[in-house]
């Protein structure tokens, strides 16, 4: 009887495991020509500093990427591979900002530079890196 229950339970367990991985794979088309603004870091709402603006990422034609990391502007080549995303060869301007803005920039630039799991929803992009999770809200217009 125990063997029969195990055999019957196996397809249910396999289906449950595979459903969590059944999210549609993100494609270049999903990313190109869109602009996102940082909304959360590690699940906490991002508060824009008085003298700053929210970090952002814009993915353009042929997966070019550019945006604002928290203090400096950046640019590079966005890449997708096996459900992961990164901005390769990131270059940045070299301004100095208050410590809080520099700390945000380190988190944003670090996460964008490493391979991060990517999830897209109707209005957000979530990047889960080795150390941080960034949630960007879709904003296809620049404020």
Q: Cβ neighbours of residue 85 under 8 Å, at least 6 residues apart?
A: 26, 31, 78, 79, 115, 116, 117, 118, 127
pLDDT in tens, 66-101: 999 999 999 999 999 999 999 999 999 999 999 999
Confidence band for 13, pLDDT divided at 50, 70 and 90: very low
Confidence band for 24, pLDDT divided at 50, 70 and 90: confident
Whether residue 2 is predicted with pLDDT greater than 90 in this model: the reply is no
Q: What is the pTM of this model?
A: 0.80
Ordered domains of the chain (ranges, CATH): 25-138 (2.40.128.270)
**CB half-sphere exposure, 80, CA atoms < 13 A:** 16
Instruction: Quote the tokens at residue 46.
Output: 């991002």
């Amino acid at each position: 009887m125990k063997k029969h229950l195990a055999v019957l339970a196996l397809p249910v367990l396999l289906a449950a495991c595979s459903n969590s991985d059944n999210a549609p794979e993100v494609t270049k088309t999903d990313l190109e020509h869109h602009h996102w603004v940082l909304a959360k870091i590690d699940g906490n709402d991002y508060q824009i500093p008085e003298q700053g603006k929210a970090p952002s990422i814009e993915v353009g034609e042929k997966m070019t990427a550019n945006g604002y990391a928290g203090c400096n502007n950046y640019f590079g080549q966005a890449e997708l591979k096996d459900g992961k995303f990164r901005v390769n060869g990131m270059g940045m301007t070299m301004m100095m900002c208050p410590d809080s803005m520099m700390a945000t920039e380190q988190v944003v630039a670090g996460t964008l530079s490493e391979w991060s799991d990517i999830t897209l929803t109707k209005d957000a992009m979530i990047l889960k890196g080795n150390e941080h999770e960034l949630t960007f809200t879709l904003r296809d217009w620049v404020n």
